[in-house]
């Protein structure tokens, strides 16, 4: 079938963008959670 | 099972069903052959991106009126999510255009207005990194977000008001335009699945922004004490 590779390329590109964004938000959230924990520990030590 | 994992699985199932519909349920197109199947991802992503920008616009308006941080958090989350969907539109469009038009890109009204929309929301997100003071940042970005949304009706109207290289609209177009009924069903199902994905991404992004916002509030209170 002519151009089937272009169709697969478009879908692969699309799903990759969504997946990368999902992972990026998850990683930013995890990093922020770590920062919050560090801050909490710092505050507790200061008391 | 955690609610977030369950909703991610439901969205994944919907997207899988949408892809199945795009490849195996929708009938072949007499003129374009198999390449037209990009339409389902391309058009559904475009509609979802515009929906996300609309949410961003409403959140920006509500922030200007009410000055509550949660509207700022929703605004930036929806702006970023809309940008992701518009990125997919701008990437899949040329892959579709090249075999059909013989060119990757042309500066016609639809393509240009969509690219400008993408640039406007990149600027909206960049602006937020340039202003440190949270209230000032929220107000400035809300005002800029309201301004950026002006391009959305231009994107919508571009293929209705001007002659463009880009095809005519598949919905709300001129008489005689449109799609086969099965293609419509697959397209609207794909949009539904994409809205599910948008909700998932938006919720996750909002949670991140709310956490950041709350840290800023605590920091300000500590500094004031």
Q: Give the ipTM of the model, two decimals please.
A: 0.90
Residue B77: the pLDDT is 98
Q: How far apart, in Å, are the Cα atoms of A22 and each of B46, B77, B143, B155, B185?
A: 18, 13, 27, 26, 27
Residue A14: the pLDDT is 97
Residue B144: the pLDDT is 97
Domain range for A32 is: 20-47
Q: Is B3 contained in some domain?
A: no
Query: Which residue does chain A place closest to B46, by CA atoms?
Result: A14
The shortest C-alpha distance from A7 to chain B (Å) reads: 6
Q: Is B24 contained in some domain?
A: no
Q: Is B176 contained in some domain?
A: no
Residue B220: the pLDDT is 80
- Please list every residue in chain B whose beta carbon sits closer than 8 Å to the beta carbon of residue A17: 84, 87-88, 91
- Distance, first Cα to last Cα, chain B: 42
The shortest C-alpha distance from B204 to chain A (Å) reads: 7
Looking at the structure of chain A, the number of domains it has is 1
Q: For residue B23, count CB atoms less than 10 angstroms from its CB and return exposed for 0-12, middle for 13-18, buried for 19 or more.
A: middle
Q: Is B60 contained in some domain?
A: yes
The shortest C-alpha distance from B88 to chain A (Å) reads: 5
Residue B221: the pLDDT is 79
Looking at the structure of chain B, the number of domains it has is 1
Q: Considering only CB atoms, which residues of chain A are within 8 Å of chain B?
A: 1-4, 6-7, 9-11, 13-14, 17-18, 21-22, 25-26, 28-29, 32-33, 35-36, 39
A10/B201 Cβ within 8 A: no
Say what the pTM is. 0.93
Q: Is B81 contained in some domain?
A: yes
A26/B197 Cβ within 8 A: no
Give the whole-number percent of chain B exceeding pLDDT 70.
97
User: For residue A1, what pLDDT band results from cuts at 50, 70 and 90?
Assistant: low
User: For residue B219, what pLDDT band results from cuts at 50, 70 and 90?
Assistant: confident
Q: Which residue has the higher pLDDT, B39 or B164?
A: B39
Residue B155: the pLDDT is 93
Distance between CA atoms of residues A29 and B199, nearest Å: 17
A3/B34 Cβ within 8 A: yes
A2/B34 Cβ within 8 A: yes
H, E, C per residue of B174-194: CCCCCCCHHHHHHHHHHHHHH
Question: What are the φ and ψ backbone dihedral angles of B157, each rounded to 5 degrees?
Answer: -85, -20
Q: Is B117 contained in some domain?
A: yes
Q: Is A1 contained in some domain?
A: no
Q: How far apart, in Å, are the Cα atoms of B195 and each of A18, A26, B26?
A: 13, 19, 20
Q: Is A12 contained in some domain?
A: no
Domain range for B106 is: 38-167+181-224
Q: Is A10 contained in some domain?
A: no
Q: Is A11 contained in some domain?
A: no
- Please list every residue in chain A whose beta carbon sits closer than 8 Å to the beta carbon of residue B201: 18, 21-22, 25
- Average of pLDDT values for B78-104? 96
User: For residue A45, what pLDDT band results from cuts at 50, 70 and 90?
Assistant: confident
Residue B178: the pLDDT is 76
- pLDDT greater than 80 at residue B171: no
Candidates A1, A3, A13, partner chain B, best to mutate (most B CBs within 10 A): A3
- Residues B129-156: pLDDT tens digits? 999 899 999 999 999 999 999 999 999 9
Query: Which residue does chain B place closest to A27, by CA atoms?
Result: B208
Query: Which residue does chain B place closest to A25, by CA atoms?
Result: B205
A22/B207 Cβ within 8 A: no
Residue B217: the pLDDT is 83
- Residues B175-199: pLDDT tens digits? 666 788 899 999 999 999 999 999 9
Q: Is B14 contained in some domain?
A: no
Q: Is A5 contained in some domain?
A: no
- Please list every residue in chain B whose beta carbon sits closer than 8 Å to the beta carbon of residue A10: 38, 41-42, 91-92, 95-96
Helix (H) or strand (E) holding B38: helix B38-66
Q: Is B199 contained in some domain?
A: yes
- Average of pLDDT values for B106-118? 95
């Amino acid at each position: 079938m002519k151009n089937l590779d272009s169709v697969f390329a478009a879908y692969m590109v699309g799903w990759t963008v969504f997946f990368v964004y999902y992972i990026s938000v998850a990683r930013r959230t995890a990093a922020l959670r770590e920062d919050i924990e560090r801050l909490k520990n710092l505050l507790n030590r200061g008391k | 099972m955690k609610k977030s994992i369950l909703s991610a699985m439901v969205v994944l199932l919907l997207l899988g069903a949408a892809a199945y519909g795009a490849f195996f349920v929708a009938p072949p197109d007499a003129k374009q052959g198999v390449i037209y199947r990009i339409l389902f991802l391309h058009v559904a992503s475009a509609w979802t991106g515009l929906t996300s920008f609309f949410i961003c616009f409403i959140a920006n308006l509500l922030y200007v009126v009410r000055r509550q941080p949660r509207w700022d958090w929703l605004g930036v989350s929806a702006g970023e999510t809309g940008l992701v969907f518009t990125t997919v539109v701008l990437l899949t469009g040329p892959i579709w255009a090249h075999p059909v038009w013989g060119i990757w890109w042309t500066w016609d009204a639809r393509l240009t207005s969509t690219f400008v929309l993408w640039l406007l929301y990149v600027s909206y997100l960049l602006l937020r990194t340039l202003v440190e003071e949270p209230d000032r940042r929220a107000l400035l970005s809300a005002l800029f977000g309201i301004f950026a949304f002006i391009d959305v009706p231009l994107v919508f109207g571009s293929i209705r008001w001007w002659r463009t290289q880009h095809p005519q609209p598949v919905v709300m177009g001129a008489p005689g335009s449109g799609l086969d009924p099965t293609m419509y069903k697959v397209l609207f199902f794909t949009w539904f699945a994409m809205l599910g994905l948008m909700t998932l991404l938006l919720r996750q992004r909002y949670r991140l922004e709310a956490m950041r916002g709350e840290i800023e509030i605590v920091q300000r209170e500590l500094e004031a004490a």
